Amino acid sequence: MKDGTVAQAFLDYWTELANDPNDATLTAAVDRVSPLLGHPPSPGTSLFFSPRTDPGKTVDPDALKLLADYALSARSGLFITFAFGMHDLFKDVYRRSTAGLRFALMEEKTRPLKKGSPQRIAEEEAIQQLRNMPENVFAVGSFIATNAIDGWLKERLSGFGSNVEYIHNKFMLVDPLSTDPIVVCGSANFSRASIVDNDENMIIVHGDTRVADIYLGEYMRLWSHHAFRESLAWRDEDDRPKYLKTDDWWQDSFGATERNARRVHFAPG
């Protein structure tokens, strides 16, 4: 994709960064180079950079609220990655959204918090409550820790990353199978720190079905990889591939279930 306006904005942004300015100078320059977008975003390609000014030192800066509003506008499908937990704005999106199918792919269920701490337990419970809603289909990064005796080949982590082990992608897809999709991608996590504190960049592509198709394919590849591995933690010991079943296994693909939400979204009719 070639867009002179977007390219010029990136050049202006990196020119500001090259001078290694102080926080106030940089945030003022970022606000000038990439003004806050509208809702919905304009057709085509737009962008915004970080760090942005946040005069009120709010928990929910305007730019993050805008991203949450894009997510909440989904009518059929929503697909987001979360590398460092899920901000409360997006928990609210998954709670209130009217989209029939809402995927989330997470590094962990919470932000980096001490295991067993009251705050971590509370955040894990909040995520579980969202997962209990049939329209919400979540997967958390995982790997195969069993061995060949259990029917799977044991895996190990590469140790390449110190802060993230599984999911460091940052993109959001709003109604990607529609004729009017929104794709948000870049270096920023969907978090306050990424908007207010860090040097980040994001691109918003509105209405390009080919871009949405490509991103959806990659999203489902990543989601399926980790969803399967996470599922091994609660499978029965003898839950290996079996012969064709003739019982009522198919019934949870209908009614108020997670499988039905996926069936309706990906194979309507």
Token pair 């009719």 is found at 269
Q: What is the pTM of this model?
A: 0.85
What is the model's pLDDT at position 209? Answer: 96
- Cα→Cα distances 178→77, 103, 169, 183, 221, Å: 9, 16, 23, 12, 20
Domain boundaries, the chain: 4-139+157-224+250-266
Count of alpha carbons within 13 angstroms of residue 46, beta-carbon side: 15
CATH number for the domain formed by residue range(s) 4-139+157-224+250-266: 3.30.870.10
105 DSSP assignment: E
Alpha helices in the chain (DSSP H): 4-18, 23-33, 62-72, 88-96, 118-131, 192-196, 209-231, 258-266
What pLDDT sits at residue 197? 86
Q: What is the pLDDT of residue 175?
A: 97
Q: What pLDDT is recorded for position 56?
A: 59
The pLDDT tens digits along the chain (269 residues) read 578 888 999 999 999 899 888 888 888 899 888 888 889 899 999 998 999 887 656 556 888 899 999 999 999 999 999 988 899 999 999 999 999 999 999 888 777 667 878 888 888 899 999 999 999 999 987 777 766 555 677 777 777 666 776 778 899 999 999 999 999 999 988 888 888 888 999 999 999 999 999 999 999 999 998 888 888 777 665 555 566 778 888 888 888 888 888 888 888 76
pLDDT of residue 248: 87
